[in-house]
Amino acid sequence: MSDSLAPSGIDLPSPTLSARLAELAGYLAAPAAGRLTEEQRALALGVARRLVQRIAIELDPGLDLDTLWQDWVSGGIPAAPRLAAPCFARAEEHRWRMQTMPYVAVRPSEEADAPDADATKPQDAVPPTPVEGAYLALRIADGRRRDALGNPCIALADLDPELLHTLLLDIAAWQLARIDGGRDRGTRLGDAVNRLQAKLTDARGVDAAAVAYHAALSAENAVTAAAEAAIAGHDWPAVIALAAAAHGQRYDAMALALLTAQAAALPSLLVPLRLERTAIAPLEASLARLAARALSYDVAADLAPPPENGR
């Protein structure tokens, strides 16, 4: 039996038609399964577009960003299966945070109005504590995950290095196919790929900021108190960062785990933070309000460390 989506003898030259039939086949295979809403589609696609175009302009400022994206949207985005998870995680996190913005509490350090002119002498400035400095670095790293208009994006420093390398090569290949640059042009693009990869190797993004924040709190035995305050204040980036660092996971993986967790799985996901069950209630309530949320039944197992010595 043929696995083709088309009737026998009929070719499917159109990527659009092939994609529509593949989507329909998936729907018919599981009609009751939850599907992406239009909002989820638009947000995830926007995250992917901003990421691809950001990489492209870093690789070659003269590259035609609009044509690149239109070609990829029409013919299929390379590395789409690997790109789907980080784009979906970032889009869902954005939906979650936008939903809870009215509930966000102002941190004590941000409550005071601007100080009077007489109280702003440079010699009177008090340096931030290690915890305050680490939290500020986390906020800055999180800020790079939005564009100038506040739209969600993935900072290049936060992208999985292997996926970044793949996208760099795909974009370079697309550019080479469009131009008649010969071997010299290919060499220059190859050098640009290597330079950008090296530049981002030591870049500090949200993952590094999360580890540093968790370490600063651990030094003062204040992780649990900070996590409880973050949940009570709906400071979800801090919650995700602390949980990710405690589990030794990437920020985006922990965000997706929390966003797809059943209520019963949340305590096990947050075990390293040593939270009281009642302290998790605002997190449960916030996630329950998120419309069209995808649920996973085994997120805790996915985050478990591998067994030692293969056992």
Q: Reduce the secondary structure of 63-90 to three states and give it as a string.
A: CCHHHHHHHHHHHCCCCHHHHHHHHHHH
- Calpha distance 145→206 (Å, rounded): 9
- Tell me if 63 sits within 8 A of 57, measured CB to CB: yes
Burial class of residue 122 (count of CB atoms within 10 Å of its CB; 0-12, 13-18, 19+) = exposed
The answer to whether position 264 is within a domain reads: yes
Both tokens assigned to 50: 């901003």
- pLDDT computed for residue 16 by the predictor: 77
pLDDT digits (tens, 9 = 90+) for 11-22: 555 777 778 888
The answer to whether position 179 is within a domain reads: no
What's the chain's average pLDDT? 85
Both tokens assigned to 214: 């968790």
pLDDT digits (tens, 9 = 90+) for 45-88: 999 999 999 999 999 888 999 999 999 998 889 899 999 999 99
Residue 251's domain spans which residues?
126-148+204-310
Both tokens assigned to 211: 């580890």
- Calpha distance 130→220 (Å, rounded): 10
Q: How many helices (H) and strands (E) does the chain have?
A: 15, 0
The answer to whether position 300 is within a domain reads: yes
Closest CA to 255 of 268, 265, 242: 242
Rounded average pLDDT over 18-46: 88
Residue with the two structure tokens 């420093």: 157
* Global pTM value: 0.83
The yes-or-no verdict on residue 109 having pLDDT over 90 is: no
> Which of 170-184, 218-232, 291-305 is predicted least confidently?
291-305
- Calpha distance 44→46 (Å, rounded): 5
| Orientation angle between helical segments 80-100 and 281-288, nearest 10 degrees | 110
- Calpha distance 181→252 (Å, rounded): 38
Q: Give how far the C-alpha of residue 287 lies from the chain's centroid of Cα atoms, to the nearest Å.
A: 17
DSSP state letter for 14: -
Rounded average pLDDT over 192-202: 85
Residue of 266 and 310 predicted with greater confidence? 266
pLDDT digits (tens, 9 = 90+) for 129-184: 999 999 999 999 999 999 999 999 999 999 998 999 999 999 999 998 887 656 67
Q: What are the Cα distances from residue 199, in Å, to 83, 106, 122, 192, 195?
A: 21, 36, 35, 10, 6
The answer to whether position 247 is within a domain reads: yes
- Calpha distance 156→164 (Å, rounded): 8
Both tokens assigned to 79: 């590395």
- Calpha distance 254→71 (Å, rounded): 32
Count the alpha carbons within 13 Å of 4 in the hemisphere toward its beta carbon.
10
Backbone angles phi, psi at 74, to 5 degrees: -75, -40
Closest CA to 55 of 154, 150, 177: 154
- pLDDT computed for residue 145 by the predictor: 97
Give the total number of structural domains in the chain.
1
Q: Which amino acid, residue 93?
A: E
The answer to whether position 99 is within a domain reads: no
The answer to whether position 232 is within a domain reads: yes
Neighbouring CB atoms inside 10 A of 247's CB total: 19
The 3-state DSSP class for residue 296 equals strand
Closest CA to 239 of 93, 58, 87: 93
